[in-house]
Structure 1
Amino acid sequence: MSLIKVKLSFSGGMELLFNNIKQKHIEISSTINPPNATTMKDLILWIRENLLKERPELFMSGDTVRPGILVLINETDWELEGELEYEIKDGDDIVFISTLHGG
């Protein structure tokens, strides 16, 4: 078993759901989903279980992030990287930005 180091960032209001954490460096087991590689779907579920402090409905819808949350993987829109199927790699920089604002 090895550990994958990932940098997570939350902004645009997302940080309020995570106890005002804007950045967090985490280490997750590469065997979080044996025998398959750890994917964004696994990471999102891990974030919900381990980091999310309140109102999970504002972060997730079903088993993915809710509409209105921009997800960047190494500065690239996750839609170009395969979304939930993207395989997490050591050193990845993953950003969650809420694009929904009241007014």
Structure 2
Amino acid sequence: QLTYRGGLHLLFSQKPKHTIHIPCQIPQSDLPEAPDMRYLVRWLKENLLSERPEMFGEGDSVRPGILVLINDADWELEGELEYLLKDGDEVVFISTLHGG
């Protein structure tokens, strides 16, 4: 389950939630075991992001100002891009940058 808050849903077809299924093993991939957050961010940019990619991603990661929660915990506590995704994980992206 993916959730977008703080206006990020506007970049993802204006849908605040997406339920996605990605395979446990990615053929011809550099992933050691299961998809990690790096793979998820790249997959989101290629498959679900509908506009303004610079507002979401920066390199292999999300841009500064986007808080990422994995199962209600800050992804910094979970290993950030190295976190291996598991069935049933909930990932929340929250923009902390607001116009004024």
Alignment TM-score, normalising by the size of structure 1 = 0.90
Deviating runs (4+, > 6 A) in structure 1?
Answer: none
Offset at 1:29? 1.1
RMSD, matched Cα: 1.0
Match of 1:99 in 2: 96
Task: From the superposition, tell whether residues 35 and 80 of structure 1 become closer, same or farther in structure 2 (CA, over 3 Å).
Answer: closer
State the alpha-carbon separation in 2 of the partners of residues 11 and 35 from structure 1. Answer: 28
1:1-103 equivalences under 5 Å are 7-32=1-26, 33=29, 36=32, 37-103=34-100
State the alpha-carbon separation in 1 of the partners of residues 92 and 68 from structure 2. Answer: 6
State the alpha-carbon separation in 2 of the partners of residues 35 and 48 from structure 1. Answer: 18
Mean alpha-carbon deviation: is it higher for 63-72 or for 33-42? 33-42
* SS of equivalent residue, structure 1 residue 28: coil
State the alpha-carbon separation in 2 of the partners of residues 98 and 11 from structure 1. Answer: 6
Give 5+ residue unaligned stretches, structure 2.
none
Paired-residue identity, %: 59
Offset at 1:30? 1.3
Q: Which protein is richer in strand relative to its size?
A: 1
Offset at 1:73? 0.1
